[in-house]
Chains A and B, each alone.
Chain A
């Protein structure tokens, strides 16, 4: 029998623990860059939105009139907002234009009127019903980018709801204190209203990096994190919050150490980009001539411009998923070969590292083929059929991508990167498929470079342990820290109860990095890192000291890391690496770096 009483006791203890002011970290998505430390102002979602009310026949016309007036009011609000914006906010202007069209679209306007008339119900309920029908229509859309526009329709409908139920625009309200605004979801218009200098940044539970809300935040320069699950439940108004719009990290009730750390980050990011600009053109070497390659992580070919602008020395990670998700059908070999070839040629002779399809878990498209049982039944997707495991299970799709990659190899220096390798047999299996792809090209007399480099991601602990064996099979390693940290520390950083234990500078993680570097160098192959950690200046000095040959990061982080590199001596970096490897726990490492970094890199890490 279940002991209900003690269960309740455990529940309430747990709740007490969570509600007390313990430091917590929540991982969302960095939607607009910048760091803000400020008290929170939380807007909780209104519950029980639309009440159902049956209308007597004589009230129907009046209700329709009320609805039409609400639409007109909403339209006037949007037009006023539009008129108040400067012409240079062209993104924002065209978003408002699209919302004006949605407001009067027949699927919203005419259909709501129809529903009021035919069902004799109140406007709010009718509007909610109409919105539900629109949602059904958008749910059937395959393309993730267009599908996401449903959020815009919802924002528009919410605006009409607001007018109908006489709700004032609360975010505009009287606050004079500078705050971080936190809510379930914000519309682009909410963000435009936030330009008032009392709102320093915002955090939303919903949304993605390509949402219109994120686009507007970026064009206004308001730091933002989206996709921060459950934050309105965990965080209360007045709580102190650190918002890191670069990494998507949110710290609640930050510790003094975290506060110091982020103030330093902030200073560093603010130190004018003019200061940093000239680092884009300088070589990546230490004062004593040790060279390290600083490359960029991107997911669309258009981002090559950002790599060039920041002086990146190649692509350390191109995530190839976009082309598989964004077209009406799966991309064919011709199309992929053309896209990859252009990228390789654009940066030649610099290396362009393209990771093969890395799907699974949350990254799945209905369009991807899958044989056997349905994939969404996986109980534990992080340990399931993802990444290279998926590619090996669907060899027809995989060989298509490999042939396209081989064809692109003649245009410059291509490196093929295999994700999530956990044992040498997988490398052998891929090599066999790769050889088959090469034979097929030969048969068709299509040229390719038979010396194309093939490397693997090191992101599963078993790959670290077997790094010496794996190094004999491949041309390079690239350490993916995000997954390596999660798998080795057994921490899901999307889980609010344990996310604070996600720690890049964990001694176990650092030792794994060192072991991988040593195993690679023993076989004479390069070891790169392409995880978030590589672009974090707090970590960069240590990573350089551990002997990595390449750090690949967000393009905008490259000049920061280059400045740090150019201000260092390799011997000192190596000594720092050794010293840190000797530390037994995370606190000791943070304490040490807290003293070391400001002393050696006052420019980067000292308070003004």
Chain B
């Protein structure tokens, strides 16, 4: 299954190491592939350095693409991590 969604990054300091680590953890836990598309570039969330070098800051509009059996659940978790403001600076 593949799901995709546009979202706007809300983390106060952007997608820094902790958020990027969180994305990798979701991919691992739900055994899915998560891709973030931004500015014509795509990063696989298992590669933390690719994700960091997208340089996503608060306000960046991204497309998130999730592949796998638990894609919907994983997408919800990604949305919470990137757009919720709780606990991720």
Interface of A with B (CB < 8 Å)?
94-95, 97-98, 101-102, 105-108, 134, 137-138, 140-143, 145-147, 149, 152-153, 212, 302, 326-329
Contact = CB atoms under 8 A, between A and B. Distances in A.
Given A143-B14, A146-B15, A327-B58, A98 B21 contact: yes
Nearest to B20: A98
Interface in B1-41: 12-18, 20-21, 24-25
A327 B57 contact: yes
B17 A95 contact: yes
Given A105-B47, A146-B55, A326 B17 contact: no
Contacts of A143: 14, 55, 57
A327 B25 CA distance: 25
B57 to A, nearest CB: 5
B21 A326 contact: no
A137 B54 CA distance: 10
A348 to B, nearest CB: 23
Interface in B46-63: 47-50, 52-53, 55-60
Interface of B: 12-18, 20-21, 24-25, 47-50, 52-53, 55-60
B25 to A, nearest CB: 7
Contacts of B57: 143, 146, 326-328
Going nearest first, the 3 A-B pairs with the smallest beta carbon separation are A101-B48, A98-B17, A98-B21
Contacts of A149: 16-17, 52
A401 to B, nearest CB: 18
A98 B13 CA distance: 16
A328 B55 CA distance: 8
A141 B53 contact: yes
B63 to A, nearest CB: 15
Contacts, number: 70
Contacts of A141: 52-53, 55
A142 B47 CA distance: 20
A101 B24 contact: yes
Contact of B17 (A140, A212, A302, A328): A212
B50 A94 contact: no
A152 B20 CA distance: 13
Contacts of B50: 105, 107
Nearest to A102: B48
B20 A138 contact: no
A146 B24 contact: no
Nearest to B87: A90
A593 B81 CA distance: 53
B60 A153 contact: no
A101 B15 CA distance: 15
A137 B17 contact: no
B14 A102 contact: no
A97 B29 CA distance: 14
A443 B87 CA distance: 42
Contact of A94 (B13, B21, B49): B21
Given A98-B18, A146-B15, A212-B17, A137 B53 contact: yes
Nearest to B44: A106
B49 A107 contact: yes
Contacts of B20: 98, 101
A101 B21 contact: yes
A105 B17 contact: no
A147 B14 CA distance: 11
A140 B50 CA distance: 13
A186 B33 CA distance: 34
9 contacts: A134-B49, A137-B53, A145-B16, A147-B55, A153-B49, A326-B57, A327-B59, A328-B56, A328-B57
